[in-house]
Amino acid sequence: MRPLIAGNWKMNGTGHSLAEIAAVAEHVAAGNVRADVLICPPFTLLSRAVATAEGRFAIGAQDCHAQVSGAFTGDVSATMIRDAGAMAVIVGHSERRHYHHETNAMVAAKAEAAWRAGLMAIICIGETGDERDQGRADEVVLAQIEGSVPAAARAGNTAIAYEPIWAIGTGLTPSGDDIATMHGIIRESLQRRCHGEGERIRILYGGSANPGNARGILALANVNGALVGGASLKAEDFMGIIRAVPRV
Ligand code: PEP
């Protein structure tokens, strides 16, 4: 399975930041990249990012509406994102679930909208620190898969991002054993749920990944790439993570 290294710029980036996209494109064009590469800038940069990446790697969005069009002020549909030249969209990021009260059902509907528009959906799941401390991490993550990963998910149109919320932007990461255990649980759940596709759907790790810890994380069983926040904003850091993808 070819790993996917995806960057989530969140609400960061203006026209100046296109220089980072250009630097990543140059790195990818130079060859020897052992992963699919994706950067998800804010909506305002989508078209310009697509143009700057020159097809050397993919551009994605960070959210989409479940409807194709209509009276939804401020929202952007998956069809519009595809029209801008993007190839993927993150859905159900914990910040969307928290600040915008997105439920599992809403996330599932967004994933289906992404597929209909021809986009890959990166569906995010992950437990809070309290849930982990209470020994409920597995149960929470399994319920999120049940609720937000439609059973029709296919390897070609879906990746799952396991992002423990307490690890996002904190500099904390779970132990390698804990990451491998959770990714194994997610794999088994996808195998049960997605009829012959669960084995091949990529499971990304997200949460304070950086060039220093990426090599160890990306070598773990059932870790098929990373979703990277802060360390994706600077091309040099992001490229450090891309370079950390193990040789097979
Ligand atoms: C994220 O928000 O998806 C993320 C993984 O952030 P960070 O890498 O900054 O922890």
Q: Which is the closest atom of ligand 1 to the Cα of 208?
A: 10
Residue 118, phi-psi category: left (phi > 0), alpha (psi -120 to 50), beta (remainder): left
Largest CA distance in the chain: 49
Q: Which is the closest atom of ligand 1 to the Cα of 90?
A: 3
- Give the pair of three-digit tokens for residue 45: 């940069």
Give average pLDDT by consecutive 10-residue segment, the chain, 248 residues.
97 98 97 96 98 98 98 98 98 98 98 98 98 98 98 98 98 98 98 95 98 98 98 98 94
230 within ligand 1 shell (Cβ under 6 A):
yes
55 within ligand 1 shell (Cβ under 6 A):
no
Q: What is the pLDDT of residue 39?
A: 99
φ and ψ at residue 17, rounded to 5 degrees? -70, -10
Q: Give the closest residue (by CA) to ligand 1 atom 6.
A: 229
Q: What is the pLDDT of residue 110?
A: 98
- Give the pair of three-digit tokens for residue 128: 């809070």
φ and ψ at residue 177, rounded to 5 degrees? -65, -40
Rounded to the nearest angstrom, the distance between the alpha carbon of 194 and the centre of ligand 1 is 27
Rounded to the nearest angstrom, the distance between the alpha carbon of 236 and the centre of ligand 1 is 17
Q: Give the closest residue (by CA) to ligand 1 atom 2.
A: 229
125 within ligand 1 shell (Cβ under 6 A):
no
List the end-to-end C-alpha distance of the chain, in Å, as a whole number.
10
Q: Which residue has the tokens 């690890």?
A: 167
Q: Give the closest residue (by CA) to ligand 1 atom 7.
A: 229
Q: What is the pLDDT of residue 248?
A: 82
Catalytic site positions: 93, 163
Q: What is the pLDDT of residue 195?
A: 85
Q: What is the pLDDT of residue 115?
A: 98
228 within ligand 1 shell (Cβ under 6 A):
yes
